[in-house]
Amino acid sequence: MPKRSDRIKKGLERVPHRALLYATGLPKGEMKKPFIGVATSFSDLIPGHIGMRDLERFIEKGVHTGGGYPMLFGLPGICDGIAMGHRGMHYSLPSRELIADIIESVTEAHAFDGLILLTNCDKITPGMLMAAARLNVPAIIVTAGPMMTGRYRGRRLSFIRNTFEAMGRFRKGEISKEELDSCEIGACPGAGSCQGLYTANTMNCLTEAMGMSLPLCGTALAQSAEKRRIAFDSGVRIVELVKKNVTPRKIMTRAAFENAIMVDLALGGSTNTVLHLLAIANDAGVKLPLELFDVLSRTTPHITSIEPVGDHYMEDLHWAGGISAILARLKGSIRDNPTVSGKRIKAIIDEVGFIDDEVIKPIDEAYHREGGIAVLKGNLAPLGAVVKQSGVSDKMMRFTGRARVFDSEEEAMKAIFGKTIKSGDVVVIRYEGPKGGPGMREMLAPTATLMGMGLGESVALITDGRFSGGTRGPCVGHISPEAMEGGPIALVSEGDIIELDIPGRTLELKVSADELKKRKLEWKAPQPKIKNGWLSRYAKAVTSAYTGAVLK
């Protein structure tokens, strides 16, 4: 079968192309082999990516062993934790589109036969999946793995609970400066994606659930021998996928996305996955409405309690059986589908020999009968909003409070640190959506600080921005339409009554329709916060959160 790479290396008219390929050091005997692009997001900037040089070597070994020729190229990455709470977070979600576009550009320009996509954190993994779906060239995702937990006086430490929430606890006087400093130095002990079900680890688990990475890849720990073997096996396997022409769209079917959503709901993962799965499905040509998350949530139980919601960590999930064990628990609902391993999902489930019941509960012992994510609608969110209901206490599942309105995250943080937010308030942070942000910043600092200050049981937060996977508490994001588009969240006034009903799936502003019409007539869109550079172009092209914030 003709190879894609033939277009740059076969025929008399390709003498110049071959000359340039030989200039890279390509041995003449390798010219006939499949060319495998290895897109690596190695970086000194991101803890989840600092260990990738090692995995690159094992991927290369695997590709050579399988009979292909590997060619590495680099991709940018942003650490959401480092970008959090300042101008840098505007760039996080938009970087997903850049990553997808870069992979598309390099792959088409250099005519790769197949791709290994080496990733780990936040927007990098979904960007790679979007590119794989768009290009439909044989591809395997290799995720670099979760970080081990830290330690402090016999306690396990993790990034969100022991840094972001620790800020609030310190301000409240619950912990000493010594303990705060120990958390700061010990919460992240080395390479890997942060230890809980934040966006990075959730997406890596869902990549495996979709069948786009090898079994156990989603949870195998960073810098482990097991992860090295997975990297090597992925290199071997991609050459076989090229020979058999097994492309991503044969794997990323509607069934694959439904499986991924159910695994997400069972895990109680990050709400960011809603944005990302919608965007990946868009590139895969699969219709995936926002409402499907809620439909599946009604019948998918929440069966793990992993940090930030609970006290287990990614290392516990891995040793408990990993994503294969989650799929096995959900066997009655999971749809059979092919995977990059060559095994179908049902076959992978049949091979599961051990599940730790303490970490992955049996269905009849589930933490909640519904899944971790709920989609809300109402006059405040006509096109939808998203909440991580697995992180909300029973007391706050229904809540009515007074609106405290802020037009940016910074304004809200000033009020929270100034202790002007009181029990019974609903913090409204707007003009932080895809267009208004621009870039739909994560509101982790406000939510974690509220939790750390002990207000998680008496204050709610709603926003047209989004939340980190580390968020817990009554926090509703992705409100659509966003404020910058003139959505109802733009019309909320200080002191308005807002009613949150998660079981009823509603988010209501208790203001009459006539009053809202009056406010709408008086509303004027504010000036963009950023008026030049890439983000100004992004703001003009990006769509609403309920579509996955894809570009037009």
Alpha helices (H) along 195-307? 199-210, 225-244, 248-251, 254-267, 272-284, 291-297
Q: Which residue has the tokens 């950023």?
A: 530
Alpha-carbon distance of 11 to 484, in angstroms, equals 54
Residue 421 in contact with residue 415, Cβ under 8 Å? Answer: yes
Alpha-carbon distance of 493 to 509, in angstroms, equals 10
Tokens of 438: 């621009």
Helix axes of 199-210 and 124-135: crossing angle, nearest 10 degrees: 30
Residue 480 in contact with residue 517, Cβ under 8 Å? Answer: no
Alpha-carbon distance of 165 to 171, in angstroms, equals 10
**Residue 492: CB partners within 8 Å, gap ≥ 6?**
380, 403, 405, 428, 430, 498, 509
Active-site pick, 193, 297, 305, 468: 468
Estimate the share of the chain in helix, then strand, then coil, as percent rounded to the nearest 5: 45, 15, 40
493 is catalytic: no
Burial (CB count within 10 angstroms: exposed 0-12, middle 13-18, buried 19+), residue 17: middle
Alpha-carbon distance of 511 to 498, in angstroms, equals 9
Burial 233-245 (b: 16+ CB within 10 A, else e): bbbbbbbbbbbee
Alpha-carbon distance of 98 to 130, in angstroms, equals 11
Residue 538 in contact with residue 267, Cβ under 8 Å? Answer: no
Positions marked active-site: 468
